[in-house]
Structure 1
Amino acid sequence: MNGTPRLGIGIGWRPEIADAVEGLTGVDWVEAVAENLCPGHLPDSLVRLRARGVTVVPHGVSLGLGGADRPDAQRLADLAARAEALGSPLVTEHIAFVRAGGPLTASPVLEAGHLLPVPRTRDALRVLCENIRIAQDSLPVPLAVENIAALISWPGEEMSEGQFLAELVERTGVRLLIDVANLHTNHVNRGEDPATALDELPVEAIAYVHVAGGIERNGVWHDTHAHPVTRPVLDVLAELRSRVAPPGVLLERDDDFPPASELAGELTLIRETITAAGTGTSAVADGPAAGAPSAPADSARSTRDNADGGASGAEAARERLALREAALLSALVAGTPAPEGFDSRRLRVQSRALTAKRADVIAKIAPELPKILGGGFRPAFLAYAGNRPLRTGYRRDALDFAEHLLIEGRPEDSAARRRLTLWWEERAGSRPPRRATRLVRVARAALVRR
């Protein structure tokens, strides 16, 4: 048995819809982005929900378990603290990498600002398994990991998504968070059949399920979490439900939040879908799902690792993965050439999507900037970010963007420029650096990139 508790029907808790979530009927549990929570100062809304008996699950987005580096100890400690503060029965993260570079590649660390797919190769699987075991050992509750949506495919992949997930579960005993919207996204963007993936993966290891909306543009499906759930996504949910009764199903919405009545309507559609697809059992599992493989014994892990080349083989796998991920991320955010075997057109789509998301985040964390710059904010930021990778977080990014504009003598409107100067000075220092200082910084950055 996988020990996952019955969760029921849930919705992603976000500050923008906190009141709406509290007012919805039939919500058994919520999921909150872990990095947005402070254990000692939980939002009042979550405190009230917990007092009503609503389960809260922290959902991490920054560990980068699919990256070549081992998980950061502080990030793991922070995730553990959030789980304990919320009294959560489990925590979740993603099968993705979010940064690359560093000592393994002797290059600067680059941040994606987004979840990027790992190659489905033996190297990547080996690294991912070790990273998940490190996380499992550091967390006070079980871990479940989520399949992600992707715009791009890695060349030379050795496994399908279902096969990759099945072996991951076999090696680590980790639980799965299956996002049916992501399965649909990968069907449109990568030609992968959701039914085949569900046939191949161990559905009995599912901890819960995500359902979310998106939109198709020019033959590419964008997993936006900002649009209504579509019928094809509900069809994938029905496919999953025909195979297993998941312990929980959750509606995700991250932007362009609709009225509470529309959220309630989407929750009703989800309930109806899983009920109609059930075959004589409850719509959502009433207890722990049976039959999920437990974590393999240490001796079994050792045998498999020895077959893969032992400790030296593991480090070599990390180095190979590090080089591949750094080359891809550099092409996406720093304008370097596309690695061999990738679809250059699709890489450009992904690159534009990353930059657009970066602009959206800056507009949220520094809302004064769009107000000061007006309609010029977005084109100015996109031009700025085109060859300037995100390195040290979004708040620093916002300051660097403002600094860049001021040194260039923008905005042209003097009143707006004074407001931008004041905004920068209140957050970064007495005055923007002089142009000579900026040129020195640019030259140093160029030397580092070489």
Structure 2
Amino acid sequence: MQHLPHLGTGIGWRPEIADVVEAMPGIDWVEAVAENVCPGHLPDSLLRLRERGVTVVPHGVSLGLGGADRPDEQRLAELAARAEALGSPLVTEHIAFVRAGGERTASQLLEAGHLLPVPRTRDALDVLCENVRIAQDALPVPLAVENIAALFGWPGEEMSEGQFLYELVERTGVRLLIDVANLHTNHVNRGEDPAKALDELPVEAIAYVHVAGGFERDGVWHDSHAHPVPQPVLDVLADLASRVTPPGVLLERDENFPDDAGELGREVATIRETVAAAAPPARRADVPSARVPDAPVEDVVRGRVGLAQAALLSSLVAGTPAPEGFDRARLAVQSRALAGKRADVVAKVAPELPVILGASTYRTAFLGYAARRPMTAGYRRDALDFAEDQLIGQRVHDAVARRELTQWWLDRSGPKPPSGRPVARALRAARLALGRG
């Protein structure tokens, strides 16, 4: 058995609050979104934190360990490189799928741009366990996986969340990153009792804990990571901390950062005090040893999982009918949320777009585009495809905006449009109009 590293109390490091995090007293460690960190060009803020002895943990969001396909070797290599560059004691990812379709299902590969829940079935668990083992073998440090929040559940589930997580740990020896805000979200959205989940899962396997805020609207809890932590989430944290002292606890805040830096500091202090007040009996925080490795997952099992996930994702992002047994109203809420998040992230990846088009015009235009074109290759490609869509469809009526958008696209799409694509013919005229031959 391996002892888990003691992390203490931390906060999610984001570029927008880098200075605030550096100045915040009592921060033992930080977590950085892995995909936003380049191993060869680490942000100066993270370097300074490391020099002070602050632990940095990379938190991945794009592996899709719950997907039907085996983890992508390149993504695993990049996550490993980030862990080594940061000198991290572990890395974390999610129990989720983020893409579906492709060769396995003879359908278009679709990207969700978001973490979607896996069905708690034997098939899905078998696939997840094998994917986790593949990731463990490829990473230089231990892996912990996080429970996610969900707006909807899968029909025909065979296990509760706690049972699903317990068997995952028992079969793989993986550590857990328990998000108490996600337990609260699933309580509101799916009627799942957080205390029951904590009763069933192996709390001794917890590597650390996430705490975050959200909001409720029309009976649906939105895990926004953009609002203060509410009391019900702190109550779940207290329940967990009364069972076992977690090696680490971390506040997540991804946007809508408060003007008053002291607000984040007070939230961190409240989290620390909540854990300390729970004061559980002393318990060893050891990870159960994995069983003898399972037999390889048959392709037919991955195929069943892949078809189910592709049908669901297609209904969410491509407008196909909802699969049988799902709550269609909840899927509609999820679909709108995915489109909104997609618009927001593209605006961050390509901030020039809302400037060129105007903020409100950009959002309306992007949501219309998203309804026509599901994402297939990530947010940066999505930004270029959106610009192409607006130009080819002659949807930009303001002459100045059209010229600026054309220039923006040309500057980012290489020396000339790829031959053989419809956009080549459409934008060749724009290139000539701009005097670029």
Q: Which TM-score band (shorter chain)?
A: over 0.9
8 A Cα contact 1:152 1:343, kept in partner: yes
- 247-256 or 391-400: bigger deviation: 391-400
The one of 319, 340, 344 equivalent to 1:335 is 319
Corresponding residue number in structure 1 for 2:293: 301
CA distance 1:217–1:439, shift in 2 (3 Å): farther
CA distance in 2, matches of 1:183, 1:315: 32
Alignment-mate amino acid for residue 346 of structure 2:
I
Structure 2 gap segments, 5+ residues each:
427-437
1:402 to partner: Cα distance: 1.2
TM-score by length of 2: 0.94
Alignment-mate amino acid for residue 276 of structure 1:
A
Partner of 1:70: helix, strand, or coil? Answer: coil
8 A Cα contact 2:4 2:285, kept in partner: no
CA distance in 1, matches of 2:158, 2:53: 45
CA distance in 2, matches of 1:159, 1:167: 10
**1:146-167 CA distance string (max 9 Å, x none):** 0000011000000000000000
8 A Cα contact 2:111 2:376, kept in partner: yes
8 A Cα contact 2:174 2:287, kept in partner: no
1:279 to partner: Cα distance: 3.9
Corresponding residue number in structure 2 for 1:380: 365
Corresponding residue number in structure 2 for 1:269: 270
CA distance in 1, matches of 2:308, 2:165: 21
- 55-64 or 405-414: bigger deviation: 405-414
Instruction: Find runs of 4+ consecutive structure 1 residues off by over 4 angstroms.
Output: 429-434, 438-441
- 410-419 or 140-149: bigger deviation: 410-419
CA distance in 1, matches of 2:423, 2:36: 33
CA distance in 1, matches of 2:166, 2:298: 20
Corresponding residue number in structure 2 for 1:409: 394
Alignment-mate amino acid for residue 88 of structure 1:
S
8 A Cα contact 1:155 1:341, kept in partner: yes
8 A Cα contact 2:206 2:285, kept in partner: no
TM-score by length of 1: 0.91
CA distance in 2, matches of 1:351, 1:432: 32
Corresponding residue number in structure 2 for 1:423: 408
CA distance in 2, matches of 1:190, 1:425: 46
Alignment-mate amino acid for residue 263 of structure 1:
L
**1:272-323 CA distance string (max 9 Å, x none):** 2112221466xxx9xxx43431122xxx334xx4xxxxx4x63221110000
Alignment-mate amino acid for residue 166 of structure 1:
Y
8 A Cα contact 1:148 1:179, kept in partner: yes
Corresponding residue number in structure 1 for 2:240: 240
Q: How many residues align?
A: 424
CA distance in 2, matches of 1:409, 1:11: 45
CA distance in 1, matches of 2:77, 2:404: 40
8 A Cα contact 1:424 1:432, kept in partner: no
Partner of 1:156: helix, strand, or coil? Answer: coil
Structure 1 gap segments, 5+ residues each:
306-310, 442-450
8 A Cα contact 1:2 1:290, kept in partner: no
Partner of 2:145: helix, strand, or coil? Answer: strand
Corresponding residue number in structure 2 for 1:186: 186
Same amino acid, percent of matched pairs? 74
CA distance in 2, matches of 1:379, 1:2: 52
